[in-house]
Structure 1
Amino acid sequence: MNIFEKGISWKSCVLILALCSFLVSCSKPIDRQNIEMLADQGDASSQLKLGRMYEEGKGVTQDYAKAAELYRKSAEQGNDVAQLSLAIMYEEGKGVNKDDNKAFEWTKRSAEQNNKYAQMSLGTMYEEGFSVSQDNVKAVEWYKKSAEQGYHQAQFSLGNMYDRGEGVARDLEKAAEWYQKSAEQGNEVAQFNIGSMYDKGEGVARDFNKAVEWTEKSAKQGYTDAQYNLGIMSLEKEGINTNSAQAKVWFKRACDNGHQDSCNNYSLLK
């Protein structure tokens, strides 16, 4: 699996961080000559920015090898975003020979500098045993570091570890707490999970209205299981009026996304 794409488009977050948050406003024009001059003088941020230009082919001819070279120069100066970018190049084999060990090494170096995206990725590497011995305790450790910085995917992953009791004692209250934090930032799977916990009264007091609220938020983002559950809720559950027309809407959406049980239920309601 691509360790950098678990759950969401993780790499996109890195690109946004590098181009917008870490370097300059995205609204500012790129001054290639100035960037090249500063990069040649050893400025780590400019090396990172120029590397991104070569990786994406923006303002220059796309050249992955040059991108990787520039990322390395910046990374070796301690730039955490460049370290993470170089890790991705090694994981994908872009501009360098694919090398999972080096992907792990550079991810770890970035994570140790408190880069929350790298911390999330390192946690995933430990959870999946990617180029390192599988270790759920360390996975929880790194997920927590990222989650405490507010990264919603790490919050979801940490909630999942508490939910399953992997790398940590099972604790449904803590699972619900972290799912909630992630859900409030728009993570559709976390929204579905916290909705299910409210529905069942697991880790939180049972509250069917909140179950519907969070399940609907997830369903509206296209999460198929949430669409199916919302269809069921419209037909069977207490707390909302039975509404076969509304159930059909959600079963149809889930069916269109390939959910066979939803297709079956939709057919029965036609």
Structure 2
Amino acid sequence: MDEKQSNINWLELDKEELQFLGDAAGFETVVVSGDEAPNSAADEIVAPRPNAGEIIKALSTVAITEGPEAFCTFVAEHREEVYAAAFFDEDVIRALLVGYKLGIDQKSGACANDLGAMYYAGEIVEQDYAKAAQLYEMAIGWGCEQSIINMGYIYEYGRIGEPDYAKAYEYYALAAALTDKSEAIYKLGDMYSHGRSVQRDMSKAARLWDRSLQMAQNPQEVAQPAIRLAPLYLEGSEDAVIAPDALLALQLFQRAEIGLRIDIRNGLTYYSRRLEQAIEGQEKARLALDALD
């Protein structure tokens, strides 16, 4: 990918930001620069002292002492608490931004991807698809596989211009070839179901969704292929070569509901309509089963 993306100015760390991160972590902070710095900015942050704001302190401490991957994992595992706190205290957002930027300074693909996702969603920072795309491209260059899929979304939904289905398909296909991510497979299925950059083929779409379902490793990953397959089994589909199976449809709608509820609890509220579809689908499937008795 484009190497020059790694030098975009708005990501540069400055002394004030590092001072903030160290102070928030509860450290006596002395930031030196140039030849005076022994190894990295984090090496100059020493001697703990008490500090208020547990979320800010935790974010800052992990960013400084445990590294970029641990920082991303911490944010993901505590997303609900972190984002809730961010709505009341802008320093939480600042700690997130500086933590990610510290990781990006170390060429962390995970930090670049996750910061990009934060700009893409626009929940606690101003939505900026151009920044998201820049960060995703950087993350791909640093080995982050999720960003390959995320760039597919950028082009499929025209986030930085008109939709470009050919580029979206290329990114999804690349992710499907290089990774074991079920998301890449169901997104390829979506391209075939809508006929985007490829000839519409519901049979192929259904096979890809089924493959994604088999690859899914948690309820959230199950939800997306399940909610796509369930209506096909509820009604049957000649195009997809699927016979009606109300019991399987019910199971798929139920599995989708579980994963979607977890996603929504984790802040992905745009799945609310999908959740309604899963709940309504279960009722329709039960009515169909009752009609068979």
Q: For this structure pair, what is the TM-score category when the shorter chain's length is used for normalisation?
A: 0.5 to 0.7
- Structure 1 CA distance, aligned partners of 2:125 and 2:183? 28
Secondary structure (helix, strand or coil) at the match of 1:87 reads helix
- Structure 2 CA distance, aligned partners of 1:64 and 1:167? 39
Answer 1 or 2: higher relative contact order, Cα 8 Å, separation at least 6: 2
In structure 1, the residue matched to 2:248 is 213
In structure 2, the residue matched to 1:46 is 67
* 1:175 Cα deviation after fit: 0.5
> Is 1:118 matched with 2:147?
yes
Secondary structure (helix, strand or coil) at the match of 1:179 reads helix
* 1:73 Cα deviation after fit: 2.9
- Structure 2 CA distance, aligned partners of 1:227 and 1:96? 37
**Cα distance, 1:171–1:221 mapped onto 2, change above 3 Å:** closer
In structure 1, the residue matched to 2:225 is 190
TM-score, L = length of structure 2: 0.55
- Structure 2 CA distance, aligned partners of 1:173 and 1:127? 21
From 280, 285, 292, the equivalent of 1:230 is: 285
* 1:189 Cα deviation after fit: 4.4
Query: Does the 8 A contact of 2:231 with 2:281 survive in 1?
Result: no
- Structure 1 CA distance, aligned partners of 2:124 and 2:243? 52
* 1:221 Cα deviation after fit: 4.1
* 1:195 Cα deviation after fit: 4.0
TM-score, L = length of structure 1: 0.59
1:205-226 deviation digits (Å, cap 9, x = unpaired): x4444x6324423235431243
1:121-173 deviation digits (Å, cap 9, x = unpaired): 22111111112431111112222233442323332222111011112221223
Q: Mean Cα displacement is larger for which, 41-50 or 79-88?
A: 41-50
**Cα distance, 1:201–1:212 mapped onto 2, change above 3 Å:** farther
Query: Does the 8 A contact of 2:249 with 2:285 survive in 1?
Result: no
Counterpart residue identity of residue 121, structure 1 = N
Counterpart residue identity of residue 203, structure 1 = A
- Structure 2 CA distance, aligned partners of 1:233 and 1:95? 43
**Cα distance, 1:39–1:221 mapped onto 2, change above 3 Å:** farther
Counterpart residue identity of residue 46, structure 1 = G
RMSD, matched Cα: 3.7
Query: Does the 8 A contact of 2:227 with 2:256 survive in 1?
Result: no
**Cα distance, 1:156–1:93 mapped onto 2, change above 3 Å:** closer
Matching of residues 84-233 of structure 1 within 5 Å: 84-91=113-120, 98-148=127-177, 149-184=179-214, 185=216, 187-198=222-233, 199-204=236-241, 206-209=242-245, 212-219=247-254, 221-222=256-257, 223-233=278-288
Counterpart residue identity of residue 152, structure 2 = G
- Structure 1 CA distance, aligned partners of 2:105 and 2:65? 9
Structure 2 unmatched ranges of 5 or more: 1-24, 28-38, 45-63, 84-88, 258-277
Secondary structure (helix, strand or coil) at the match of 2:107 reads coil
Secondary structure (helix, strand or coil) at the match of 1:74 reads helix
1:238-261 deviation digits (Å, cap 9, x = unpaired): xxx32xxxxxxxxxxxxxxxxxxx
Structure 1 unmatched ranges of 5 or more: 1-30, 243-270
Number of matched residues? 200
1:64-115 deviation digits (Å, cap 9, x = unpaired): 2233123123224321101012213434568876533111110122234453
**Cα distance, 1:45–1:192 mapped onto 2, change above 3 Å:** same
Query: Does the 8 A contact of 1:110 with 1:118 survive in 2?
Result: yes
**Cα distance, 1:113–1:163 mapped onto 2, change above 3 Å:** farther
Secondary structure (helix, strand or coil) at the match of 2:67 reads helix
Query: Does the 8 A contact of 1:90 with 1:96 survive in 2?
Result: yes
**Cα distance, 1:134–1:228 mapped onto 2, change above 3 Å:** same
- Structure 1 CA distance, aligned partners of 2:193 and 2:122? 35
Work out the percentage of aligned pairs sharing the same amino acid.
19
- Structure 2 CA distance, aligned partners of 1:197 and 1:38? 55
- Structure 2 CA distance, aligned partners of 1:172 and 1:105? 33
